[in-house]
Amino acid sequence: MEYQVIWFVLWGLLWAVYFMTDGFDLGVGILLPVLGGDDDERRVMLHTVGPVWDGNEVWLVTAGGATFAAFPGVYALLFSTLYTPLLLVLFALIVRGVGFEFRGKGTTESWKQRWDTAISISSTLIAFLFGVTFGNLFVGLPIDANGYRGGLVGLLNLYGLLTGILFLLLFAVHGALWLAWKTDGKLAVRAAEFAGKAWAALTVFLFLFLLYTASATGLDRNFVVFPILLGFPLAALAALAAIRFFLGRGRFLWAFLASCAAVLMTVSTGIAGLFPNLIPSRLDPAYSATLFNASSSPYTLKIMTVVVMVFVPMVIAYQIWVYRVFRHKVNASELAKDEDGY
């Protein structure tokens, strides 16, 4: 039981870290047609995430691998019940990666605009579909003795769609703050202005979303039984307030770091509410996939714990090094000397 609980925490943490890291470069992709006034500005936007976007997706591979190895029953159920949205996420990830690589291979404006559109649409789909997926996990799936009783249309329920919108708003703010910090000139000004407006929309939406969550899901039960867990939503709200505080003072790096905390704590709030479920059944709790009935053997979990203790710090150290090396701002004059890339 001890290792099962540890791996539930690690499972939730890996997904939260993925959304925190990949969330801002998804946000940049979403905002590409919104903030990129011309080709130079769009190139700058893409170059801000160029050195890190694929490294950020290491956390997606890690989270998916951890789900498969630690909770194989959950992995099987996810890819059978949520097959269509997860397959669309996979296709969107492929198109987005191809877009990053192919955009700079042509010289015509139409070529670049087509790939800009592909990057923006795929980034939007990834964010929205992950929101729909986790929204359905939070509200529960129609599972009984015969398995999953819903279909694709059933996944597009109100709570799932609202969670998708929440993810879009979170990542849009996240990406705009990244751009405000990593760029300068008019682009940085527009990014900061957009972040302020989107922050207001996100704050109102998140408050209403939390109220609806309390009535539409069973996530609030854990917070009543274990009041210490209220630290997650309170930390998320404090991080949102910190975004506004630092943004108003032009301290964009600190505003971005506060946004990192907001994404991390928002996702952690949902994960904490799920415990001990990973895929709850909204028809009968007896058919829920939990950390107790869907986990690997204790020996497997023990070996995985050792592997994580060795390799995850290496990944973290590498990513810290990459972010440090590429910490400088990106501008059009610098890119004018670079004929390769985006």
Kindly report the CATH number assigned to the domain that includes residue 240: 1.20.1630.10
Residue 214 banded pLDDT, cuts 50, 70, 90: confident
| For residue 173, pLDDT beyond 80 | yes
pLDDT band at 56 (very low <50, low <70, confident <90, very high): very high
- Above 60 in pLDDT, residue 170? yes
Q: Which domain holds residue 75?
A: 2-333
* Least confidently predicted of 78-87, 197-206, 263-272: 78-87
**pLDDT score, position 191:** 96
Structure tokens, 236? 């998320």
> Band of the pLDDT at 342, cuts 50, 70, 90?
low
Q: Confidence band (pLDDT; 50, 70, 90) for 341?
A: low
In a domain, 342, yes or no: no
DSSP at 146: T
| Two structure tokens written together for 302 | 């023990």
Work out the average pLDDT over 299-319. 91
Beta-ladder partners of 144 = 147
**What is the pLDDT confidence band of residue 175, given thresholds at 50, 70 and 90?**
very high
Band (337; pLDDT cuts 50, 70, 90): low
Type of residue found at 210:
L
Q: Rounded to whole angstroms, how far apart are CA atoms 207 and 133?
A: 21
Overall domain count for the chain: 1
Q: Indicate whether 173 belongs to any domain.
A: yes
Q: Distance between CA 30 and CA 24 in Å, rounded?
A: 10
Q: Is 55 exposed, middle or buried (0-12, 13-18, 19+ CB in 10 A)?
A: middle
Give the model's pLDDT for residue 336.
61
pLDDT confidence band for 215 (50 / 70 / 90):
confident
- Looking at the domain assignment, is residue 341 inside a domain? no
**171: pLDDT confidence band, cut at 50, 70 and 90?**
very high
pLDDT of residue 331: 80
Question: Average per-residue pLDDT in the chain?
Answer: 90
For residue range 97-112, list pLDDT tens digits in order: 999 989 888 878 889 9
How does pLDDT run across 129-150, given as a tens digit for each residue?
999 999 999 998 888 877 777 7
pLDDT of residue 286: 87
Report strand pairing: 143-144 vs 289-290.
Answer: unpaired
**Cβ atoms within 10 Å, residue 219:** 22
Share of the chain above pLDDT 90, in %: 64
pLDDT at 84: 85
Question: Tens of pLDDT along 253-292?
Answer: 999 999 999 999 999 999 999 999 999 988 888 888 898 8
pLDDT at position 98 is 93
Residue 334 has pLDDT above 80, yes or no: no
> Quick one: average pLDDT of 308-328?
90
Q: Report yes or no on 212 lying in a domain.
A: yes
* pLDDT score of 340 more than 60: no
Convert the pLDDT of each residue in 25-37 to its tens digit: 999 999 999 998 8
- The answer as to whether 339 is a domain residue is no
Sequence-distant (6+) residues with CB within 8 A of 265 are: 232, 233, 235, 236, 239
Bridge partners (DSSP) of residue 279 are 289
pLDDT of residue 338 exceeding 60: no
Q: What is the pLDDT of residue 80?
A: 83
CA distance 32 to 146: 45
CA distances from 224 to 142, 208, 209, 230, 235 (A): 25, 19, 18, 9, 17
